Structure 1
Amino acid sequence: MAASTHATATAVAQAVLERGGNAFDAACAGGFVLHLVEPHLNGPGGDLVGLFQPADAEAPTVLMGQGAAPAGATIAHFQREGLDLVPGAGGLAAAIPAAVDAWLLLLRDHGTWAVTDVLSYAISYADNGHPLLPAAAATIGRVADLFREHWPSSADVWLPGGAVPPAGALHRNPAYANVLRRLAAVADESDDRTAGIDAARGEWRRLLADACEFLAQPHRHSSGADHAAVIRPEDLIEAPASYEEPLSASFRGRKVFKADAWSQGPALLEALRILDPFPDDHLDPSTAWGAHTVVEVLKLVLADRDAYFGDGADAAPLLSDAVVLARRAAIGEQASSEWRPVRLSGAEPWVPPLRREGGIAAGTGEPTVARTGDTRGDTCHIDVVDRWGNIVSVTPSGGWLQSSPVIPSLGFCLGTRLQMCWLDDSSPAALRPGHRPRTTLSPTLVHDGNTRIALGTPGGDQQDQWQLPMLLRMIVGGYTAQEAIDAPTLHTTAMVDSFWPRTWDPTGVVVEARVGESVLRGLAERGHRVTRVGDWSLGRLSAVAIDGDTGILWGAANARGMQGYAAGR
């Protein structure tokens, strides 16, 4: 069973399963295809976070595909550049690319296929083309002037003949096809599969040296000024991807697993712990009281995220009984308009700038762009489970086509994950060389008895916000996964936006209008500033699972946008 945010990636993953590959082979093949079918939402120069569990393992593992800040990415350097925030676009915001290395690491240790076979699908689409999504074409249109005036290498790739391509036009990327062919050829030179994949990982880092040289030339950033990137070849010597142990929390007899506090994952665990003893009718997001309760809990845990999360931070105190009881008691009958992190014993919360200007906070994570290079991007997701019980959930992102200028020899650009770092050394998420930015990428694995569930969604700061109602509906409400994904959802904007320009909206809540007038009215009466959006516009969730007792597999995918797909047999 495979499910993802794009039907082609799902089809590729399913094709691998049909040919005898396992879940890890399939996820890797689908992951590389996502670079080509959702190029405005992820790319080879970006990052990923995954959770996976081999059939014979007792617990999940985190696939860490988030690169660290380069050696030259210091607060002092950014301040000398006249910046008070890390820009949201341009090479100066690039962390060390880790997505491709993470896919290859997963393939090496848990897959069965050769690099050549896994990459064959992506190479074919890069050579022969894949139809541009309407959203991708619209994104290119929004940055067309930026590309023409400031990023000519991006114009060469994304503006064929100088014009914005229409939706459905075949987009080819021969430079990236050649990169993938090079990785496959290097891997094939070794008779040993493991050694061959490691050789491909090394070749990937050598190829990225071209990006360092190219982006060292000053170019336009979202600050409206020109800056040079600081990433250098010496930052790429060590392979960036690795494995970690996940955090977990129990909710209604299930065990939920997330990545640690270098992601936003522990916020979902804290929310579930807070909500666990509430009456069932208080946990229904389709009622005014349930929606209010969910939103108020999200405000609390996201404030804790912004005050305490970062690379090396300890999220365990936030999951303690004392903190959970205190946060539960902080939920009132009216909407809170304050930023309220918990106060931990011996640790004062770091207070970020609470910027109300800008108006971006009501967004849903989808790309918005301007001629200055002001750009936001979203994310993709893929889940796979195989007949043997191997299961994997991966959220790739970064390296969007609008992130920074395309490196001509590679056919793609680098990511901008450093925009989630603060230029304040007292912050747990401060910009520090060698430290990972605190990412929004947040896939989930759930143990429900002998059933294993993998799920996730794009959406930036909304990723765990949209997963929470899905889990509540499945675990408390008895919904199937597809019913839970299809149900109307919501999220709060009362958190410090992880993306430039880092705004905050203290009482905002965004709701799909089809939730009903009684819920919308009830939220407004409780003091929430409600933004109604389209009936089918929030969340791009997908999920797969296997019942360990019966061997039955299921999958579910998002209908919004008519783009995600689940498939299996």
Structure 2
Amino acid sequence: MSDFTTRPEIRGTFGAVTSTHWIASASGMAMLERGGNAFDAAVATGLVLQIVEPHLCGPGGDLPVIYKTADGEPQVLCAQGTAPAAATAEAFAPHKVIPGSGLLATVVPGAFDGWMSLLAEHGRLPLSEVMGPAIFYAREGHPVLPRVAATIAGLKDFFASDWPTSAEVWCAGGSGPAVGGLLANPALAATYQRIVDEAEAASDDRTAQIEAARAIWSDGFVADAIGAFTSTAELSNNIGGRDRALLSRDDLAGWRCRTEAPLSIDYHGWQVFKTGPWGQGPVLLQALAILRGIDLAAMDPMGEEFVHTVIEAMKLAFADREAFYGDPDFADIPMDVLLSEEYASARRALITDVASREQRPGRIPGYEPLADAAIARASGDFAAGPSVEPTMAHMTERRGDTVHLDVIDRWGNVVSATPSGGWLQSSPIVPGLGFALNSRAQMFWLEPGSPSSLQPGARPRTTLTPSLATKDGRWLSFGTPGGDQQDQWQLIWFLRFVHHGDSAGSAPETGNLQALMDMPLFHSTHFQGSFYPRRAEPAKMLIEETIGEDVIAALRARGHEVDVAPAWSIGRLTAALREPDGVIRAAATPRLMQAYAVGR
């Protein structure tokens, strides 16, 4: 492994914040400097990401968090909003699919309640301080990223003709923002400031103020505005129609985020923690279970044998995702089997020296119909119609995506979060509030019988998947945006960390978090995608050209259909690590030139 890195690995003992935008990371670090902890910093970071990356997340989106307090065990906060009470397959029958944009696909917006719950239960600082940076950047403006400017420019005419409330916010004065120019959102600044003002008027107590903010969102002026909008607006979607939302004010008033235990497995002494199967997190655990019995340490982490083996394990794990994952409150999901060593051993035996072209979910007794249905869906024709794939793999400026953050403080609190949804391009702005709702219902299947079939009150099975891991008193937080690629890029990075980085015994100077992050990445599109048109591309994979021509040729010789991606174009990983002696380390990908780790 080269000693050269694109930037230094951040090291210190006070704290570190790493996220997909430097302004957000700095805002979170400001909370630590004011005496706040990792939870205060995470909430401030997450709220600022809504402002500076509005094409990737927003207040109307969703939020999974994995965290541990200094003296506690890992927990999952699920702020994934549920399908409205009126969201039935019959409601979508005229479309035959769930649109990827517009109002019909909106589920309960969960992110704000999740952030407030985290702040109330585990934070230290008052509501006004933690929300202050987001209010500042929304009111005063922030330098516009090229991708934000391009996204708005591509939709300017559509906003003007079809989503006029979005035009008012994103194209003030009749044109979109210039790259590097200041973009403000006064309406959102006013919404957040009003929440703070009303919460402070309700009580002098910190926790009571935060709980008041939650109530204002779900049953106050925010809910009133959302309910008034969704009950009357009929606006364009991405499949050529116009629709109204199924979401009602009552859906908001009856919903709260929840905390639950994570799923986990042991991988070479590291205990790895992920969300339940309402997210795709268990995919990483399944892939690790499969790879646990293969000597990856003996492989070159830049070599074709490593790439091939990991890709083939990914295919098997993601095939199971498509067959078996969904909201466990509404479906019987055999997670105990899927994470067992006996099952992993059988799956491991399916990996050969040749790239598989089959969709191969496991044959679990009693669950065979789910596997058969997943195979049938993967071979179906979903190719008609415009794609709204929100990942980096398909290069359009209308894509959405996700953001990620990791925070560790000096007391040993650790937070990993992957906010998403509420993209500026996914749904029109709610009048007077300055933010869009979400289109997360597009993750459901309309066909009955799948664990991820649409049902009122169910959580859509998302791709959002933060990570925690621990070994011998070390705590690691990591993650990335990227839709179906999230657990692929995380898996690759974590395997290299365990087997080829300082975790494997090499010196930190030659195996640091940043050096591993700078290495070429790859991913598979073999399995069925999570977003319309949900294509499966047998044996297809993408890999950065910096892996080398010889490796690419060898992968093709094994039967992989390799698309070569430009250097520095795949993955947006961030990570933070706390050592047993209190040293904190952090890193952020150089890709897209916006993620940053800060700390001291």
Shorter-chain TM band: over 0.9
Is it true that 1:229 corresponds to 2:245 in the alignment? yes
Give secondary structure in 2 for the equivalent of 1:396. coil
For the residues of structure 2 that align with 1:379 and 1:15, how far apart are their CA atoms? 23
Give 2:82's match in structure 1, choosing from 59, 68, 86.
68
When residues 294 and 321 of structure 1 are mapped into structure 2, their CA distance, relative to the original with a 3 A threshold, is same
Match for residue 299 of structure 1?
315
Match for residue 346 of structure 2?
326
Is it true that 1:513 corresponds to 2:545 in the alignment? yes
Name the Cα RMSD after superposition.
Answer: 1.7
> Aligned letter for 1:147?
F
For the residues of structure 1 that align with 2:392 and 2:304, how far apart are their CA atoms? 24
Give secondary structure in 2 for the equivalent of 1:157. helix
Match for residue 416 of structure 1?
439
Equivalent residues in 2 for 1:114-129, closer than 5 Å: 114-129=126-141
**Contact 1:362 1:510 survives alignment (8 Å):** no
Give secondary structure in 2 for the equivalent of 1:51. strand
Give secondary structure in 2 for the equivalent of 1:378. coil
CA positional deviation for 1:561: 1.2
For the residues of structure 2 that align with 1:283 and 1:498, how far apart are their CA atoms? 31
The superposition leaves residues 298-337 of structure 1 with CA deviations (integer Å, 9 ceiling, x where unpaired) of 0110010000000013422101122101110111211111
CA positional deviation for 1:407: 1.0
**Contact 1:154 1:405 survives alignment (8 Å):** yes
Give secondary structure in 1 for the equivalent of 2:425. coil
For the residues of structure 1 that align with 2:84 and 2:245, how far apart are their CA atoms? 10
Give 1:365's match in structure 2, choosing from 376, 387, 392.
392
For the residues of structure 2 that align with 1:174 and 1:388, how far apart are their CA atoms? 36
Is it true that 1:551 corresponds to 2:582 in the alignment? yes
Q: Percent identity between the aligned chains?
A: 45
Give secondary structure in 2 for the equivalent of 1:26. helix
When residues 305 and 127 of structure 1 are mapped into structure 2, their CA distance, relative to the original with a 3 A threshold, is same
Is it true that 1:442 corresponds to 2:442 in the alignment? no
Is it true that 1:39 corresponds to 2:54 in the alignment? yes
> Aligned letter for 2:383?
E
Match for residue 303 of structure 2?
287
- Give me the TM-score of the superposition, normalised by structure 2: 0.91
For the residues of structure 1 that align with 2:337 and 2:534, how far apart are their CA atoms? 26
Match for residue 429 of structure 1?
452
Equivalent residues in 2 for 1:372-411, closer than 5 Å: 376-411=399-434
For the residues of structure 1 that align with 2:536 and 2:164, how far apart are their CA atoms? 34
For the residues of structure 1 that align with 2:485 and 2:87, how far apart are their CA atoms? 27
Give secondary structure in 2 for the equivalent of 1:452. strand
Give secondary structure in 2 for the equivalent of 1:403. coil
For the residues of structure 2 that align with 1:515 and 1:221, how far apart are their CA atoms? 40
Match for residue 91 of structure 2?
77
For the residues of structure 1 that align with 2:491 and 2:37, how far apart are their CA atoms? 29
For the residues of structure 2 that align with 1:376 and 1:134, how far apart are their CA atoms? 14
For the residues of structure 1 that align with 2:531 and 2:389, how far apart are their CA atoms? 12
**Contact 2:300 2:306 survives alignment (8 Å):** yes
> Aligned letter for 1:192?
D
Is it true that 1:490 corresponds to 2:522 in the alignment? yes
- Structure 1: which 5+ runs fail to align? none
For the residues of structure 2 that align with 1:376 and 1:367, how far apart are their CA atoms? 8
Question: What number of residue pairs does the alignment pair up?
Answer: 561
> Aligned letter for 1:165?
P
For the residues of structure 1 that align with 2:142 and 2:349, how far apart are their CA atoms? 52
The superposition leaves residues 260-291 of structure 1 with CA deviations (integer Å, 9 ceiling, x where unpaired) of 00000001001001101211356544111110
- Give me the TM-score of the superposition, normalised by structure 1: 0.96
For the residues of structure 2 that align with 1:87 and 1:362, how far apart are their CA atoms? 12
For the residues of structure 2 that align with 1:363 and 1:423, how far apart are their CA atoms? 20
The superposition leaves residues 347-381 of structure 1 with CA deviations (integer Å, 9 ceiling, x where unpaired) of 122424224636969984368669xxxx5310001
Give secondary structure in 2 for the equivalent of 1:545. strand
For the residues of structure 2 that align with 1:366 and 1:138, how far apart are their CA atoms? 17
When residues 481 and 159 of structure 1 are mapped into structure 2, their CA distance, relative to the original with a 3 A threshold, is same
CA positional deviation for 1:172: 0.9
Give secondary structure in 2 for the equivalent of 1:250. strand
Match for residue 335 of structure 1?
355
Match for residue 182 of structure 1?
194
Match for residue 177 of structure 2?
165
When residues 392 and 556 of structure 1 are mapped into structure 2, their CA distance, relative to the original with a 3 A threshold, is same
The superposition leaves residues 436-456 of structure 1 with CA deviations (integer Å, 9 ceiling, x where unpaired) of 000100000000210001000
Give 1:347's match in structure 2, choosing from 353, 358, 367.
367
For the residues of structure 2 that align with 1:527 and 1:430, how far apart are their CA atoms? 34
**Contact 1:143 1:369 survives alignment (8 Å):** no
Give 2:566's match in structure 1, choosing from 519, 524, 534.
534
Match for residue 8 of structure 2?
none
For the residues of structure 2 that align with 1:249 and 1:330, how far apart are their CA atoms? 21
Give 1:481's match in structure 2, choosing from 513, 524, 541.
513
Equivalent residues in 2 for 1:20-35, closer than 5 Å: 20-35=35-50
> Aligned letter for 1:292?
H
Match for residue 91 of structure 1?
103
When residues 445 and 43 of structure 1 are mapped into structure 2, their CA distance, relative to the original with a 3 A threshold, is same
For the residues of structure 2 that align with 1:289 and 1:369, how far apart are their CA atoms? 32
For the residues of structure 2 that align with 1:360 and 1:221, how far apart are their CA atoms? 12
For the residues of structure 1 that align with 2:388 and 2:441, how far apart are their CA atoms? 19
